[in-house]
Amino acid sequence: MINANKNIFIINKIDNPEVKLIVNHHAGGNAAFYFKFTDYFPKNWEIYLIDLPLRSYHNQVKQLKERDDLYHFFSNTFNEFETGNIAIFGHSLGGHISLELAYYLEEIKNIKIKWLGISSKNPPGQSKNTIPLYTYSDEELINWLRKVNGTPSELLENKEILNLFLPSLRHDLYLYHNLNSSFKLKYKLEIPLSIFYGNKDSGIEKEKITNWKNFTKNTCNIINFEGNHFYFNDNLDFFSNTLISEIKRNLIN
């Protein structure tokens, strides 16, 4: 069962869930992209798929440009969120948003997080791209999308859809740049981290990805998969089972 509430799609709204898993999407993406993951999750898990602004019927708040905007978005989205066995996962931009959300829930809401998973994301301030992606021309952005292989080719060849999609993507990339370049590590988290990436992702450097261990006092497990930026598209079953195992190993057992 899916419940739409503000900026959240809630899968399996149940009493006393074993896990509350929050999922944050990538730049240019949306919550719907991650519906396919939920088929693999245990039925006693409650899944929260987050939609950033400007991408769905229930989601008509302003564009997020910087950290203050993001925290205001968190305040509106999680104002009634309750504690529990909370895990957070995000891919690419969603990985950074997940990091910010972990700090927000702990500092502002006094809600303890049990696990944080980050996918296809170098630690803040260590991006391989020297030229911000949001400054790319439309043609350059389309070429970049083809390279990371996360967007269906039929979408990239449809000018009408691109006219709607590229502005949203550019907004997200602008937010990503501002969050990434201005991030300052205030303190180390005390929760286990799991970092996932594709071994053919041109934006990930192995010597940088290992620096995620500096963001926690707890364990940091780094797992690589065969593939590029959207490595899980080629083997969703295997990735989902790995993700579930990481959460159970760190949060339930």
> Where along the chain do its domains lie?
2-252
pLDDT for 137: 94
Q: Name the percent of the chain lying above pLDDT 70.
A: 93
Homologous superfamily of domain range 2-252? Alpha/Beta hydrolase fold, catalytic domain (3.40.50.1820)
Task: Please compute the mean of the pLDDT values over residues 153-176 and round it to a whole number.
Answer: 90
Which residues are registered as beta bridge partners of 116? 88, 193
Instruction: Report residue 164's pLDDT band, with 50, 70 and 90 as the boundaries.
Output: confident
Judge whether residue 69 has pLDDT over 80.
yes
- Nearest by Cα to 27 from 208, 224, 179: 179
- Nearest by Cα to 38 from 28, 49, 27: 49
Residue 66: phi and psi, rounded to 5, are -150, 180
Judge whether residue 49 has pLDDT over 80.
yes
What CA–CA distances, in Å, run from 144 to 34, 132, 140? 21, 12, 6
